[in-house]
Chains A and B, each alone.
Chain A
Amino acid sequence: GAVVSQHPSRVICKSGTSVKIECRSLDFQATTMFWYRQFPKKSLMLMATSNEGSKATYEQGVEKDKFLINHASLTLSTLTVTSAHPEDSSFYICSARAGGPEVGEQFFGPGTRLTVL
């Protein structure tokens, strides 16, 4: 099956620092990658959708200058949380889709737990 990796799995940082999270599709080319965040006992919240080689599309309420997304290749997307604050502490999950939107199924990475002190 399709495998998506995320790195790091867990990160603790001080307030004001920036954190980069990598998402890689290991055995397929991901035309589209998605970034979600999930607070405890809450549902997944889509933050942005990124297509390889183009700018990410952010969901309403998500600050694109704070959450920088780069989808430089068909196997790698990165999310950078800039000037992180305690309220940014959350579980960040990426997913990848191999084909067009009609394909539907997204393959999820294992997630990154961010704690901002």
Chain B
Amino acid sequence: GQNIDQPTEMTATEGAIVQINCTYQTSGFNGLFWYQQHAGEAPTFLSYNVLDGLEEKGRFSSFLSRSKGYSYLLLKELQMKDSASYLCAVTDSNYQLIWGAGTKLIIKP
């Protein structure tokens, strides 16, 4: 079966750095997405990785290793507004988007 694993919840301190991991087992791979979702709102796009390596976009970076079926989202200089759920999603060989359950990130002052 297809599966995406990410931690349920993480806590970090304002101003610090946090890394959210995502591992996947899917039938084929055509890209990995990270989305941010605040409570009661729809997801918003953060990043897309299809090749191995690190993609940096401001305070957020995303890394992919296809051979390991692994990705992480790195958030730097954490702000209180970064408190949200972070969803990892993988596009399989049929271009179907498989969603992880999300990681709830709690930022403490």
Contacts and interface: CB of A to CB of B under 8 A. Distances in A.
Interface of A: 41-44, 46, 91, 93, 101-102, 104-111, 113
Contacts of B19: none
A43 B104 CA distance: 11
B42 A111 contact: yes
Given A104-B30, A104-B91, A105-B45, 15 more contacts: A43-B101, A43-B102, A44-B99, A46-B97, A93-B43, A101-B91, A101-B95, A102-B95, A104-B33, A105-B33, A105-B48, A107-B45, A108-B42, A110-B41, A111-B41
A84 B71 CA distance: 39
Interface in B2-42: 30-31, 33, 35, 40-42
Interface of B: 30-31, 33, 35, 40-45, 48, 87, 91, 94-95, 97, 99-102, 104
9 contacts: A41-B104, A43-B87, A46-B97, A91-B40, A102-B30, A102-B95, A107-B45, A110-B42, A111-B41
Contacts, number: 43
Nearest to A108: B42
Contacts of A113: 40
A20 to B, nearest CB: 18
B54 to A, nearest CB: 19
A109 B41 CA distance: 9
A107 B97 CA distance: 13
Contacts of A106: 97
Contacts of A44: 43, 87, 99
